Amino acid sequence: MRTTQRFAGRTMIVTGAAQGIGRGVAMSAAAEGANVVLVDRATLVEEVAAGILAAGGAALSVNADLETYAGAQAMVATATAAFGHVDILINNVGGTIWAKPYEHYAEAEIEAEIRRSLFPTLWGCRAVLPGMVERRAGVIVNVSSIATRGIHRVPYAAAKGGVNALTASLAFEHAADGIRINAVATGGTEAPPRRIPRNTQQQSEQSEQESKWYQAIVDQTVSSSLMHRYGTIEEQVGVILFLASDEASYMTGTVVPVGGGDLG
């Protein structure tokens, strides 16, 4: 457990906070003094917020569909009503839904991958920036992926490439407003089994071919890492919170790869 108070008195929105990296970020930030607004469309996020409150932290859970403009606007409005303003936004929603060679993706699947892994970050930035511009202060950390250079998840890679471009362009546009915008390109990360899968097919047994396609992603991820292993949630959280803190005050427009040496 972290013992510093880097985020004391600051309000931080963490999206995708019900599970995995988002949950880890929210819990660690709360332990460091942040007023944490945990956002997810899964009601599991309420359990995470309750745990933070029980430990003496400040937390508010919000159920929202961040694949929509309205969902992101409602998220920021709720956070502002509760805590006055938003200091930090961690855009964490995203993740591969299907794993297969690109020629096997259906039209609807390609669109779903882009909606899942690009639009929540686009809408989140759009929703939070007016308040940050008005206050001439703020930090955004976007969660990207080293999968921008990988196999069997091309639509996801394209979405995360968009996140990287968004990060660079917005940082350029808003540096004069006192706003820092960076991204973390996460590598393969060990995490507990998802309580809610990204697609219903994951609830049933994969076909032999689907298992081979997915295993190829795992093998490529490990082989591309100089450390030849997956990282931990804590290793990703540490870098995300570093970029969100004043310790990274001279960093903006940067995509930091956290993949054991795989630069994506």
Q: Domain holding 95: CATH number? A: 3.40.50.720
Domain that holds residue 153: 11-192+201-258
Please report whether residue 1 resides in a domain. Answer: no
Please report whether residue 3 resides in a domain. Answer: no
Please report whether residue 85 resides in a domain. Answer: yes
Please report whether residue 79 resides in a domain. Answer: yes
- Active-site residue, selected from the candidate residues 69, 105, 156, 250: 156
Please report whether residue 94 resides in a domain. Answer: yes
Please report whether residue 6 resides in a domain. Answer: no
Overall number of domains in the chain: 1
**Alpha carbon of 67 to those of 123, 130, 144, 178, 227: distances in Å?**
8, 19, 16, 27, 34
pLDDT of residue 197: 65
Establish whether 156 is a catalytic residue: yes
Which secondary-structure segment (H or E) carries 60? strand 58-63
Please report whether residue 155 resides in a domain. Answer: yes
Residues with Cβ within 8 Å of 59's Cβ and at least 6 positions away in sequence, in order, are 26, 30, 35, 36, 37, 38, 48, 49, 50, 52, 53
Report how far residue 84's alpha carbon sits from residue 259's, in angstroms, rounded to the nearest whole number: 36
Please report whether residue 39 resides in a domain. Answer: yes
pTM: 0.95
Q: What are 94's two structure tokens?
A: 């995203």
Q: Which amino acid, 101?
A: P
The one-digit pLDDT tens for each residue of the chain (264 residues) are 556 899 999 999 999 999 999 999 999 999 999 999 999 999 999 999 999 999 999 999 999 999 999 999 999 999 999 999 999 999 999 999 999 999 999 999 999 999 999 999 999 999 999 999 999 999 999 999 999 999 999 999 999 999 999 999 999 999 999 999 999 999 999 988 766 666 654 445 789 999 999 999 999 999 999 999 999 999 999 999 999 999 999 999 999 999 999 998
